[in-house]
Structure 1
């Protein structure tokens, strides 16, 4: 059957980018690979072909072909099709995602490892795990998700799993792309790259710029959108020898964003009347950040042994100027309390009228406090990973090991300013800027993992262990601080065991168990315990090259749950962490796909992803954490839908394709127990339909159209930290791609 020309190009690129690197690679396949192909495999961790995957852990790959179907720029929309992923939406564009796996809190994606090209990419993954920076998904050629025992190689967070995003490889020949698009709410994107290899030297230059006016409507007028840019350069040199081959690669990138984003939401009544409204009190809210990245890779390989070494440094600076609340004093009310019930009493009503500009500030406690959360981060290190394939005692072994030395730091220089609401405008009260949080957190961490996959006939047994050695330091740099320093160390070993048994060439069963771990941040009191868990998974998969099916059940036995307060969750500036004791999370993940041949020229690909999850606190306790409150044994975790489903349908012909995705997300509770503002609050179930279509004019390029949220369905996706926030409304987009 003939295939779409664009898909041919993408499949070819994906085949180079996505080649197998694990035990599923046969020795004869290795012999046929070039040094460059093998190197690219190491940048992408998961391999994929038409055969049955013998991976014993839960791994998902979204390749370039799948990413091109809908041309999503929002990582949330991409990951909704991955089973076991739980998300709390925030801004509608995916600027600062909240992603969790298998019941782990999604808040600022702080419980998963976020990687780019196999390297930790969060601003300070150990010191301050909240991911206020997230890479541009428009430049990624594949997305990888690891859960269960497969995540033991990537740390420090091993309770939930890891997310790895792979950037474009330096092409083997002259290759380029121009992609421009425009859409609703002032949306526009310009994306381009060019690369080539001349002799042993290769290069790639890629840039992306995106902007939007925003879909929210600020009272009194004003911009609620964003602009962000990313420029990346790669230089590569291949060096082949008689006994081994080598690749040297340098990656440099620079990114920035300015977004008029806010944490301020709406009352439920105002949301029902106009979900995209924004109160005038948020008129000055703005995020401004820059990110710089350096990464140097060295890859050396022989017939049975290869070593990949990465040296990296990431620098991130951000300043988020935003409304924090009222000055208080004589009368104190949080923004969350006010918007949860503006008509509760005269005090709430008065504060609400000031927030919306209906009344002016008069009393001192009615002044509005705007905070500038000014932070600088760095993350740097060196890591080396080894893979050795050998036979011992009549058994095939694939031994993998790695060591990493990592340093990261966050430095906070938070300040606040006081404003009056005057005639529906924020006016400074003339007082000087006040320092609020001035501190530094820093970590030096050594980590190591050892893993051996032993193959005997139809059985693969993988045993591994991960070690984390963390030295953490906290310094309160405020002039009047009495507690200047806090030093603490963490030493832990985390074992894993998994098994895969092939029932046939097309079917197999898997089982895995591993110990999960989540460190505390440097500033937390030593009385706060690290999060620990024993995680199990059991399932099976089938793949005959045309039809695939995978069903995995998981059980996370969390011995000690740990959560923390940030502005995104509690509206708090202190980043305090809390322990919640024993929690059970149990669930089921299902994926399946099939391609129907409707005619010689038309295919109908269908895929389904479903997740069922339940959670339960095992003990009763009282907590100051705003998402827990007074918990009774049997209460559930917040922001964890019981059912999630994603159905993809397509029609693919020689020069055109049409794709539709239907996504369902169940309701979610916003607080586990009683005694907190959002106790009893629930987000409504949400069904969203996205569509895309394209037509390839061959040498004249490709035209595409897409529609997010076709039926313009909007619900409250969260009431944190201050009031109801909407899902993204209907958005249309038209674009043009030219490849050369």
Structure 2
């Protein structure tokens, strides 16, 4: 039996309790437990059961395990293609380092959204250094949730755009297991398995996943452009129930690692047009190497009209990324971005990058930098839900508190290399320490939200508070500083209403205050990002038909961005510095619709349509040295936000086989906002991507699945950052076999 505990709820522990209740031997206990289960799901679901109308204001999307299995994606970018209001900047084609934004916030390293795993912040250092250089392997997920709108105040610290919650497999009620193996072109291999055993009140789950690929890019002179990733997770669960209370204790342990031959160096537009999957010789030493470990202990208790979930967590992440940074600066040396944007003017540098010319006797060496960083994040959080009546009004009250601490320690070095006959050779110079610093944050966050039910009208009022105590220290020899400390306190209110037109449809509206903190090293001249966010929508749900239309406006009082190496080569010497832009506005429309047709003979035809329109622009003129902005005139567009995005999904499904097609459209995106910076006036082209998948179930003998990513082999420039043009993923065929017991 294969149960997907995340199809109806957002918390693993809640589903485990429900499954255990269903297995109770005593009939009377079963009836009572079933009632508790129903009441619990009423309290715990975010968007509600698919057979019921969700009356919560705000846009929320759940992708359950059945949907994830349709395409067997390894890339979170492709998974989120069916979610409205998501904007993405692709980078490596595999989704190794995702760039995800919601409702117009910059997708750069997903640093402006909250990323959770099983309800806990999973970023390396969510307060001190939120850039998501670590991201869980999506093949092991059993559900993905996206929250936008007023619900954002429940999940911090970033409340401007929304939250992405990644759900892992829970310990199931029955003994079961699964083996999944797959292969593809470019040396791709996947092996995924789990086994779960339950005896009485005790259950255990062991799960492992490994993937690897030789890569689809061809390195000048030969070499590997692929990756290898491994992920192991264990869960131990114990149920302790009584007549009045349900309790679950769960321990989750995880370890993951990655070695990938990735680089920030792209191509000139001309080389992209000729050989889009080429990699220059100067990128041959590119290597990312990281390890991640996690420990999470959960306790859940539920009574007649309340439930309380407490989580204690610790995450460690260590990474070292070796890559080409720049040429040694001799006073007039162009940046890598400038060389690739104008290879004719900078021909000699271009010849060296491509290995066609040795650099010795022409100019200084190439600088290969290794950014070595260590992170940890830890904390404890408790979330309470309580349903009660007062003065004839039903209240659904939620409150939570979290004590969190995280840290990043940077040790960045550079080594000098010469290009000799198309190969990089050490210049023999001592390793240069470029950056050594530490940033850490301690945060206390609290929220309270009450939903008042007035028959057809539901009114929700909420408030979130964040107190952040952060500090920064420069550890570089000769530049050492004492700890520089600062404190930030902010209150973030939100309100929403939902009016039921009938049992299947309703109108909703909401407003909330958005906030994104500054990093510990930023001085008082860098202001926090603040916004006021509005939304108005209509929702319909009946049987197998769903429709939601949402209009939104995000009015930024003070837009903020940071200069990272994933932004530009000019950020190498200015890494992690933040910039302010003043007022900006993003408005748009999100439409999602789906229906499942019964065409007879036991065959269904599911279809879905998702469309997002965004209009994002600066409202003030200003001058900036930040590479995404430059000299901006009011009305200039915000970069990396397509005006139009769309996806259409179509399928044929029976109980034994399925065939699915997903077509995605991504509109053009500006590479920079203003003038006088690299890539000013340059944009990516709009393009379509078509993915197909099919599967056949051999009953007791497992399931065979086939899929093709990018069926038409469409290739376009998805971005010219970090340094140069980068391609979309080429056509790739997969075949896999999955067996469950």
Q: Is the 8 A contact 2:375 2:408 kept in 1?
A: yes
Quote the residue 1:14 is aligned against: 7
RMSD between aligned alpha carbons? 2.1
Whole-angstrom CA distance in 1 between matches of 2:298 and 2:485 = 33
Q: Is the 8 A contact 1:533 1:557 kept in 2?
A: yes
Q: 3-state SS of the aligned residue for 1:72?
A: coil
Quote the residue 1:557 is aligned against: 555
Distance 1:492 1:12, change over 3 A: closer
Alignment of 1:265-280 (within 5 A): 265-280=266-281
Alignment of 1:392-431 (within 5 A): 392-431=390-429
Quote the residue 2:140 is aligned against: 139
Question: Is 2:495 aligned against 1:505?
Answer: no
Deviation at 1:483, TM superposition (A): 3.7
Whole-angstrom CA distance in 1 between matches of 2:171 and 2:40 = 11
Deviation at 1:232, TM superposition (A): 0.1
Distance 1:418 1:45, change over 3 A: farther
Distance 1:38 1:423, change over 3 A: farther
Alignment of 1:302-321 (within 5 A): 302-321=303-322
Deviation at 1:268, TM superposition (A): 0.2
Q: Is the 8 A contact 2:46 2:60 kept in 1?
A: no
Quote the residue 1:633 is aligned against: 634
Q: Is the 8 A contact 1:183 1:731 kept in 2?
A: yes
Quote the residue 2:474 is aligned against: 476
Quote the residue 2:456 is aligned against: 458
Question: Is 2:235 aligned against 1:234?
Answer: yes
Whole-angstrom CA distance in 2 between matches of 1:38 and 1:17 = 15
Quote the residue 1:375 is aligned against: 373
Whole-angstrom CA distance in 2 between matches of 1:142 and 1:259 = 26
Whole-angstrom CA distance in 1 between matches of 2:271 and 2:390 = 69
Q: 1:441 aligns with which of 436, 439, 442?
A: 439
Deviation at 1:241, TM superposition (A): 1.8
Quote the residue 1:168 is aligned against: 169
Q: 3-state SS of the aligned residue for 2:549?
A: strand
Distance 1:313 1:18, change over 3 A: closer
Q: Is the 8 A contact 1:447 1:468 kept in 2?
A: yes
Whole-angstrom CA distance in 1 between matches of 2:447 and 2:323 = 42
Deviation at 1:501, TM superposition (A): 0.6
Whole-angstrom CA distance in 2 between matches of 1:686 and 1:390 = 52
Whole-angstrom CA distance in 2 between matches of 1:243 and 1:129 = 42
Quote the residue 1:3 is aligned against: none
Whole-angstrom CA distance in 2 between matches of 1:250 and 1:730 = 41
Whole-angstrom CA distance in 1 between matches of 2:541 and 2:616 = 31
Whole-angstrom CA distance in 2 between matches of 1:721 and 1:170 = 41
**1:189-223 Cα shifts (integer Å, max 9, x gaps):** 00000112110001100000000000000011110
Q: 3-state SS of the aligned residue for 2:349?
A: helix
Whole-angstrom CA distance in 1 between matches of 2:72 and 2:35 = 30
Q: 3-state SS of the aligned residue for 1:669?
A: coil
Alignment of 1:71-110 (within 5 A): 71-110=72-111
Q: Is the 8 A contact 1:607 1:648 kept in 2?
A: yes
Mark the runs of 5 or more structure 2 residues left unpaired by the alignment.
19-28
**1:331-368 Cα shifts (integer Å, max 9, x gaps):** 31100000001002xxx100000000000012474310
Q: 3-state SS of the aligned residue for 1:598?
A: strand
Deviation at 1:42, TM superposition (A): 9.4
Alignment of 1:531-546 (within 5 A): 531-546=529-544
Q: Is the 8 A contact 1:540 1:550 kept in 2?
A: yes
**1:288-327 Cα shifts (integer Å, max 9, x gaps):** 0000000000001101011000000000000000000101
Whole-angstrom CA distance in 2 between matches of 1:387 and 1:550 = 27
**1:6-62 Cα shifts (integer Å, max 9, x gaps):** xx956787357789989xx9xx99954498999999998554331111111111100
Alignment of 1:103-122 (within 5 A): 103-122=104-123
Deviation at 1:420, TM superposition (A): 0.2
Whole-angstrom CA distance in 1 between matches of 2:502 and 2:184 = 49
Whole-angstrom CA distance in 2 between matches of 1:68 and 1:379 = 31
Greater mean alpha carbon deviation, residues 362-371 or residues 514-523 = 362-371
Q: 1:388 aligns with which of 375, 386, 389?
A: 386
**1:122-165 Cα shifts (integer Å, max 9, x gaps):** 00000001010000101100000011101110000000110000
Quote the residue 2:517 is aligned against: 519
Quote the residue 1:282 is aligned against: 283
Quote the residue 2:26 is aligned against: none
Greater mean alpha carbon deviation, residues 362-371 or residues 250-259 = 362-371
Quote the residue 2:21 is aligned against: none
Whole-angstrom CA distance in 2 between matches of 1:51 and 1:482 = 60
Distance 1:125 1:299, change over 3 A: same
**TM-score in terms of structure 1 length:** 0.95
Mark the runs of 5 or more structure 1 residues left unpaired by the alignment.
1-7
Question: Is 2:351 aligned against 1:350?
Answer: no
Q: Is the 8 A contact 1:19 1:41 kept in 2?
A: no
Q: 3-state SS of the aligned residue for 1:284?
A: coil
Quote the residue 1:608 is aligned against: 609
Deviation at 1:432, TM superposition (A): 1.2
Distance 1:563 1:262, change over 3 A: same
Question: Is 2:611 aligned against 1:597?
Answer: no
Deviation at 1:565, TM superposition (A): 0.5
Question: Is 2:700 aligned against 1:699?
Answer: yes
Greater mean alpha carbon deviation, residues 141-150 or residues 594-603 = 594-603
Q: 3-state SS of the aligned residue for 1:351?
A: helix
Distance 1:52 1:31, change over 3 A: farther
For this pair of structures, how many residues does the alignment match?
726
Quote the residue 1:5 is aligned against: none
Whole-angstrom CA distance in 2 between matches of 1:392 and 1:210 = 54
Whole-angstrom CA distance in 2 between matches of 1:31 and 1:103 = 47
Whole-angstrom CA distance in 1 between matches of 2:527 and 2:605 = 51
Distance 1:202 1:396, change over 3 A: same
Quote the residue 1:617 is aligned against: 618
Whole-angstrom CA distance in 2 between matches of 1:357 and 1:196 = 56
Q: 3-state SS of the aligned residue for 2:607?
A: strand
Q: Is the 8 A contact 2:460 2:497 kept in 1?
A: yes
Quote the residue 1:712 is aligned against: 713
Q: Is the 8 A contact 1:718 1:726 kept in 2?
A: yes
**1:529-562 Cα shifts (integer Å, max 9, x gaps):** 0000000000110011121110000000111000
Quote the residue 2:483 is aligned against: 485
Q: 3-state SS of the aligned residue for 1:271?
A: helix
